[in-house]
A and B are shown apart, each in its own frame.
Chain A
Amino acid sequence: MSLDRASLKSAALAQLCAIAPEVDPQEIVSARPLRSQVDLDSMDWLHFLVGLNERLGVEIPESDYARLVTLDNLLDYLQEKLA
């Protein structure tokens, strides 16, 4: 499966809104750290990644978490995994 960046972004934002319904996706700055912008604790973060895993079928090992700081990082990572 290969998805363009825009579809990946909309999938990621939809998943984010499912966990943090008060978030306005348009206000998220994709080059800034995601978790602090949206106030995600470790449980929220895990639910977010589990949701992405269900939507996209991407397995994200714990050792890769450190790479996923900003939304841009995440999209790069997902594109790489789905390529």
Chain B
Amino acid sequence: MIPFELPSLGADMEDGTLLEWLIKPGDTVHRAQVVAIVDTSKAAVEVEIWQDGVVEALLVMPGEKVPVGTVLATLRELSQAPAPEAKATPQGPTAARAEVPGVSGQPAVPTPAAQPAGSDEPAQPAEPAETAQPALPAPAPALPPATTSSATPAARPTASALAQARHPVSPAARKRAHELDVDPERIAGTGPHGSVTVADVETAARCRSTEATRRPVPVPAPASDAATAAGPHPLPPAAALARERQKAMRKAIAAAMTRSKREIPHYYLAEQIPMGVALDWLQQVNAGRPIAERILPAALLLKMVALSLRRTPELNGLYRDGEFIPSEAVHAGVAISLRGGGLVAPALHDVATKPLGRLMSELSDLVRRARAGSLRSSEMTDPTLTVTNLGEQGVASVHGVIYPPQVALVGFGRIAQTAWAQNGWLCALPVVTASLAADHRVSDGHRGALFLAELRDRLQQPQALAESLGGAENPQSPQSPA
């Protein structure tokens, strides 16, 4: 038997509330499949599973808040083709965690009581597809056939296809729909790929309160115009919930940052970097690209940071149990401020090796999903350093607080026209102040300085990226946290 535990989705997470299961007993699940939505204080996170198996029992029900490490469900190995890695999984924690609140009293064997009540709205995409036609003429999301049942292993869809099939409704929207008692399957989505967003749900709730629900909108295209057209009907619970959420998020950020300041002996360095060459090059590149594929300076900076880390691997990795473990790959935690306050720093995976165009499209997708409150567990858990770009708000520089267990944070201020002396001349150039906050337990100022010098030099030769520029196609790929 394989226990599926609530993972820690960041250093600041102690518990989580299960919002929804996307699986049921008897389902076959595959590595990297999104199986549940869990609410942390920061976001509704799509939690992935990292083993193949057959779901035996769901031990925690939607709405329950449980500590990190709680066994949420049990799986058994695929009998026809047992995955070797699943066998290697330690069995110990199951017994040790049997006392965890929320699980206590639940036997580890499947029982009918441990299964979701059938009266809940169906979470399986196959059913709504047949029965509940969207009342509004939504742009049809490109859903692959919902062959998620284990009955057809031959036509096994890829994990990412499965994940997409499950997400015509963003997790945050699903949560909000539940709160407002709206059926999210009946709402036209205006989000990416026609997905239903929180705003769509709230609009639908307002429309219902003015008894305009279920009435098809005459013009199909601007479905989100309804958001503007709908009157300002107040939704009092939303404000209260948002306040609660804010409080919880502030508490979580405070806990992580206090830990950082207590445990990590920070040192700080800064360097002014001329950006003229890089911005000119980017402008040329963008002139030849359609608007949806244009590359922002933020993506270029991320790429250059990742490449520069090759010389100073002691800035990229995790510090755990008194020991630094460098990371081969650069998974950059991108600090993203949320509308309404707070921030998250989910991972952009494999920044050093991905072409710039693809990096940009993934960054765009990540920001969009972070602000919609719809992130994946692997993104929350595996950044190997953080990059923050506070210059957008107009500050000259930032001295960051490292996010444990990482050991470095790179910050960028505003790219501003600056008087600059060069070759004996004074000229006006766009210049950015790059800063490094790093962990003295792992590196010293000298090594940190080498990193910033490397970053400065690379940004003077952006054309070195030209051959690996790449298009925006194929932005998604499942990532393992390993």
Contact = CB atoms under 8 A, between A and B. Distances in A.
Interface of A: 10-11, 13-15, 17-18, 20-22, 24-25, 39, 41-43, 46-47, 49-50, 53, 55, 59-63
B225 A10 contact: yes
Contact of A43 (B225, B227, B364): B364
B228 A62 contact: no
B291 A14 contact: no
A49 B199 contact: no
Given A59-B291, A62-B286, A47 B368 contact: yes
B286 A14 contact: no
B148 interface: no
A21 B225 contact: no
Given A14-B224, A18-B197, A18-B224, 20 more contacts: A10-B225, A11-B222, A11-B225, A13-B228, A14-B222, A14-B228, A17-B199, A21-B197, A21-B199, A21-B202, A24-B232, A41-B337, A43-B296, A43-B298, A46-B294, A47-B368, A50-B292, A53-B292, A61-B287, A63-B287
B225 A14 contact: yes
Interface of B: 190, 197-199, 202, 221-222, 224-225, 227-228, 232, 283, 286-287, 290-292, 294, 296-298, 337, 339-340, 363-364, 367-368, 392-393
- 8 pairs of A and B residues whose beta carbons are closest in the complex: A41-B392, A21-B199, A14-B225, A14-B228, A43-B367, A50-B292, A53-B291, A17-B227
B221 to A, nearest CB: 8
Q: Is the interface of B mostly helix, strand, loop or mixed?
A: helix
Given A41-B392, A42-B298, A49 B291 contact: yes
Contact of A46 (B221, B222, B283, B364): B364
B339 A20 contact: yes
Given A13-B228, A43-B367, A46-B364, A22 B294 contact: no
Contacts of A42: 296-298, 392
